């Protein structure tokens, strides 16, 4: 995948995660696994070239923990 295609995916993922809330998860309108995956991939997109915005990547990764706060090693 070309760098331009990766950068073009960012606004799509941002729009997707903008609609996810803890209330949606509680009401089972969205799954926690899907929320975790969406924030993970958004973080990944932020960290790879050409964006390489590590602060936004870290924020996206941290947000995924809101929806799945379990110990990743368990």
For 27-56, the pLDDT digits (tens) are 888 888 889 999 999 999 999 988 899 999
- Residue 33 forms part of a structural domain: yes
- Residue 59 forms part of a structural domain: yes
User: Distance between terminal CA atoms of the chain?
Assistant: 33
- Residue 44 forms part of a structural domain: yes
How high is the pLDDT of residue 72?
A: 57
- Residue 24 forms part of a structural domain: no
- Residue 11 forms part of a structural domain: yes
How high is the pLDDT of residue 45?
A: 95
Q: Residue 58's domain spans which residues?
A: 3-18+29-66
- Residue 72 forms part of a structural domain: no
CA distance 42 to 64: 10
The token duo for 40 is 């993970």
Alpha carbon distances (Å) from 9 to 47, 50, 71: 13, 12, 29
Count of domains for the chain: 1
- Residue 71 forms part of a structural domain: no
- Residue 7 forms part of a structural domain: yes
Percent of the chain with pLDDT over 90: 47
CA distance 70 to 24: 19
pTM above 0.95, yes or no: no
How high is the pLDDT of residue 57?
A: 96
């Amino acid at each position: 995948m070309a760098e331009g295609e990766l950068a073009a995916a960012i606004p799509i993922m941002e729009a997707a995660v903008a609609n996810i809330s803890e209330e949606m998860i509680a009401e089972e309108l969205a799954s926690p696994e899907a929320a975790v995956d969406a924030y993970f991939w958004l973080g990944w997109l932020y960290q790879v070239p050409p964006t390489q915005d590590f602060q936004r990547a870290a924020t996206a990764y941290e947000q995924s923990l809101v929806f799945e706060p379990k110990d990743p090693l368990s």
